[in-house]
Chain A
Amino acid sequence: MRISKKILVTMIVPLLAVFLFASEGLAQKKGFDDKEIRIGSWSPQTGPAAPWGATSRGAKLLFDIVNEQGGIHGRQLRLFIRDDQYNPSQTMAGVRDLVDRQGVLAFVGGVGTAPALAVRRYLAQNKIPLVSVMTGAEHLNFPHNPWLWALWPLYDDDASVMAKFLVEKKKFKKIGMLYQNDDYGLDPLAGVQRRLKTYNMELAIAVPVEPIERDLSSQISRLKAAGVEAVIGYVAPTQAAIALRSSVAIGFRPQWIHSYNLTDFSLMNHITDGLWAKEGVMTTAFTEDILDFKIPKMKEYADAAKRLAPGERWGIFYAAGITAGEPLVQALKQVGRDLSPEALVRELNNINNFQGIGPRVTWTATNHLPPAEFRIWQCGPKGEVIVLQDWTKNDLPKKR
């Protein structure tokens, strides 16, 4: 009899606990009150992709600056960052925790295609806006998602502008491509091919790289054997650095041009022993130069970073977090004191020609696509930014 009682208690206690927690989870908490607005963000703070985690901390800096200036219509901004280690299952856990238990009005940033894909439906079901999601992968934006506003330009557009520049301005005839063998590399591969077709050209060679690869000797030998004059790179910073080192090691010195994700010249120059500058590597860019302190906003943010987050490096990912947060802050300002999720959505859809330190953004109720304007930069001899081509819109977007 005593044993059966024990069993009964053992079964009832966890069931009761589950019930209590579940009942809390079912009632979604409000993401704001009279004093504060709660915003969520996920990014890898630990693990191999951790450098990208600076984006969430950049958004936090922006919120801290806004709070220093009195907040938005009397409310302070509070950012909750969840470390997902770039693992979609952990992204889901973190996002659910923030939505169900903490209560957030919106999410800002959010790094990575796979993590964003994992949570986009859940956020839409719960009517939580996901603002400035940090991936340019195409299928996140199609079909139109009324709860997702994109700021990261589509890789397809980026690569198309890059290819046009190489052919029209630099007159290269033999172009190769080194691309990451997933959406990050396959979308731009299609963009480059479509652009080259308009000149009756084809890629001389396209060589895939897996994200975890650390030895790229055979890929570089293949590019060299194809005799390409320029290589479009769509790989992560580590692979880009290894590729450059490997090509120099075998005396292969084409013109390298990389995606806008590799515009941190200071970091890239550092980890390539100065080769990034020596070889004059080019990149596209969709933000202002983060070291151009003649831009008042840039100086304000960099000074604030020194004061409020002295441990942070003023790098491109950190600044990208600020870029992601700016349209959200603008929309919250436009809402006024009568805040509600519906009002926030209305004002996000009214973001018109807004520009902070990032690109010009226009969102409407039916168009949440990111900007398609880019600049072309080159790493100068001292690691500085040389603007080779100013803002240029992709005039050959993919028909969708």
Chain B
Amino acid sequence: MPFGQLLIDGLAMGACYGLFGLAVVIIYKTSDVINFAAGEMAMFSTFVAFHVLNIFGYPFWMAFIAALAFAALLGVLVDYFFLRPAKNPTLLGLIVITIGAQMLLAGLASWKWGAEQKQFSIPVSYSVTYEPITGFIISQWALAVFITAIVIVSFMFVFFKYTKMGTAMRATQQNKHAAKIMGIKTDRVFAFAWGFSSVIGATTALLLSAKTILDPGFMMEPFLRAFAAAVLGGLMSIPGVLLGGFIMGLIENFFGYVWPSWKPITAFVVIVLVLCVRPSGLFAKHYVKKV
């Protein structure tokens, strides 16, 4: 068994699942809503980068910034136009709205860019590899994933612990009404959370598009895995989600190597088993029903 290779590939894909899981968790932490449009929002932003790079012919860094700016705007717009107009919404109602947004974005992307696979390259290549230790081949792409994950997680740690908006988001998550009474503009907090989540999702999708293939359905499967990773880690715990992603990537790669036919379901079976024992996920402290 090529242990080193499976370990590195598993950790790299796991980091992607973990990062994307964070995009799901940020919204869940502030509003209790599971955003089923997260995959398509990230896909759409990646297509914007593709458009700026391949159609307009601008350099990659401009395409990257444009995609992130668009992602932030898209997140805010989804919150503003889809979720906010809902009158007296139930949680289920809001989740169904995100499913509607998902279908709309998928249809729009197919209409605008077509359903065929697209070539999309980022400056870090999967074919440039290093072998620091025999049997541990690491590509530029995997390195970029690890560095991005470290940067984003460090930023989130600082943001939630030391910034005013981070504190406001935590307060809103704990008790929306009390936060309002204390003068926190919760609508702004929600809009910021959607924008922030969309930016993290777009960053992950840009990385994933270089490893897989860009088409309107390319984030469908990673979203499911990321969501599963988030559930595994505990939907309220940011380090837990990242660790859940790593576990997911490693399980998939090692079990996939030994029993390839079972690869797509192995990780989900493990999650079901874990949740039977710890319903709030591996790393969440305990399940708290907010009242």
Q: Give the interface of A toward B (CB within 8 A).
A: 46-51, 53, 181, 207-210, 212-215, 217-219, 221-222, 224-225, 237-238, 241-242, 245-246, 248-251, 267, 270-273, 275, 313
The proximity string for B residues 3-15 relative to A, scoring 1 for CB distances below 8 Å and 0 otherwise, is 0011001100100
Kindly identify which residue among A51, A219, A224, A267 contacts B260, using a CB–CB cutoff of 8 Å.
Answer: A219
The 7 closest A-B CB pairs, nearest first, are A50-B115, A218-B256, A217-B9, A48-B217, A218-B257, A249-B126, A214-B212
How far apart sit A363 and B171, CA to CA, in the bound complex (Å)? 73
Kindly identify which residue among B2, B216, B256 contacts A219, using a CB–CB cutoff of 8 Å.
Answer: B256
How far apart sit A267 and B126, CA to CA, in the bound complex (Å)? 20
How far apart sit A311 and B116, CA to CA, in the bound complex (Å)? 14
Which A residues are in CB contact (< 8 Å) with B218? 214
Which B residues are in CB contact (< 8 Å) with A248? 126-127
24 CB < 8 A contacts A-B: A47-B110, A47-B217, A48-B115, A50-B110, A51-B116, A209-B260, A212-B220, A213-B221, A214-B212, A214-B218, A215-B9, A215-B211, A215-B252, A217-B13, A217-B253, A218-B263, A221-B5, A221-B6, A237-B117, A238-B117, A238-B215, A248-B126, A267-B116, A270-B119
Q: Which residue of B lies closest to A210 (CB)?
A: B264
Contact check, B129 vs A250: say whether CB atoms are below 8 A apart: yes
Q: Which residue of A lies closest to B110 (CB)?
A: A46
Chain A interface secondary structure, helix, strand, loop or mixed? Answer: helix
Contact check, A221 vs B261: say whether CB atoms are below 8 A apart: no
Q: Would A221 and B257 be within 8 Å (CB), given that A46-B110, A214-B218 are in contact?
A: yes
CB distance from A241 to the nearest CB of B (A): 5
Contact check, A225 vs B1: say whether CB atoms are below 8 A apart: yes
How far apart sit A105 and B208, CA to CA, in the bound complex (Å)? 46
B254 contacts chain A at the CB level, 8 A cutoff = yes
B213 contacts chain A at the CB level, 8 A cutoff = yes
Most A CB contacts (10 A, CB to CB) among B2, B6, B107, B256 go to B256
Contact check, A222 vs B260: say whether CB atoms are below 8 A apart: yes
The proximity string for B residues 254-276 relative to A, scoring 1 for CB distances below 8 Å and 0 otherwise, is 10110011011000000000000
How far apart sit A216 and B264, CA to CA, in the bound complex (Å)? 11
CB distance from A190 to the nearest CB of B (A): 16
Which A residues are in CB contact (< 8 Å) with B263? 210, 213, 218-219
